[in-house]
């Protein structure tokens, strides 16, 4: 869909707070900040959200790091597609495999998600898309457990981003992320997977941090 994620390719072969993995020019790298760097919250997060991320980080010493879903929903965003959405430079890209993801803590909720593992497809994500079905999404297997951060570069539909740990625990959700936005987003907790769905999907279906997501067999 767009982005930037927890991919690894440092300037000197070392993972750094912002890895330089030199993807194709039209898919600029997603800035990566790992938990080990103690990076500050994403730009634009202030007040209660910033405090919550700091609390989530501190909680890891005593147990699992989870950024609790707030009781009040964030401000809604325009549904999209965004005005000024750029044309897709790869309109004939091959279809990605689709996996079925269940949510065992919420009855009857599931998502059919395109499954992304390659560096190119991770960098591209949901860029240039102009629609996304209600129970459709994209699942990123980021391979490493880090405090991954995503952006919305060239992403024309607003999204919810579910950050999921190695065992399926949802450690935090970035809700109502606006389109065509280059601010990095994260939850301050290590994860391996990120599921992107339409903005507002998590609240509409009662999915919260601290619940679980079923993992694909390939995981």
pLDDT at 145: 97
- Cβ-contact 86, 124 below 8 angstroms: no
pLDDT at 125: 97
Structural domain spans, the chain:
35-82+96-204
27-77 tens-digit pLDDT: 444 433 322 223 333 333 334 555 555 555 545 545 899 999 999 999 999
pLDDT at 61: 46
pLDDT at 4: 55
* Residues lower than pLDDT 50 in the chain: 1-2, 5-47, 58, 61, 219
CB contact set of 143 (below 8 Å; sequence gap of 6+):
117, 192
pLDDT at 53: 57
Q: Is the peptide bond before 78 cis (omega within 30 degrees of 0)?
A: no
CA angle 109, 132, 170 (to 5 degrees): 45
Distance (Å, whole) CA 62 – CA 40: 21
pLDDT at 63: 84
Helix, strand and coil percent figures for the chain, each rounded to 5: 10, 25, 65
CB contact set of 49 (below 8 Å; sequence gap of 6+):
41, 70
Please name the fold of domain 35-82+96-204.
Jelly Rolls (2.60.120)
């Amino acid at each position: 869909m767009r982005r930037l994620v927890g991919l690894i390719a440092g300037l000197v072969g070392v993972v750094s707070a912002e890895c330089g993995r030199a993807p194709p020019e039209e898919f600029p790298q997603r800035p990566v900040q790992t938990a080990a760097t103690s990076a500050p919250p994403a730009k634009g997060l202030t007040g209660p959200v910033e405090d919550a991320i700091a609390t989530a980080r501190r909680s890891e010493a005593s147990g699992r790091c989870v950024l609790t879903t707030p009781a009040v929903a964030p401000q809604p965003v325009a549904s999209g597609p965004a005005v000024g959405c750029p044309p897709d430079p790869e309109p004939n890209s091959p279809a990605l495999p689709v996996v079925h993801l269940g949510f065992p803590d919420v009855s009857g909720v599931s998502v059919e998600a395109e499954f992304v593992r390659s560096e190119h497809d991770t960098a591209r994500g949901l860029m240039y898309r102009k629609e996304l079905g209600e129970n459709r999404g994209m699942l990123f297997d980021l391979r490493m457990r880090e405090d991954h951060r995503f952006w919305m570069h060239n992403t024309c539909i607003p999204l919810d981003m579910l950050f999921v740990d190695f065992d399926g625990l949802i450690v935090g959700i970035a809700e109502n992320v606006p389109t065509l936005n280059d601010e990095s987003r994260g939850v301050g907790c290590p994860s391996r997977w990120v599921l992107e769905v339409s903005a507002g999907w998590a609240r509409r279906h009662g999915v919260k941090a601290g619940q679980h997501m079923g993992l694909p067999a390939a995981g």
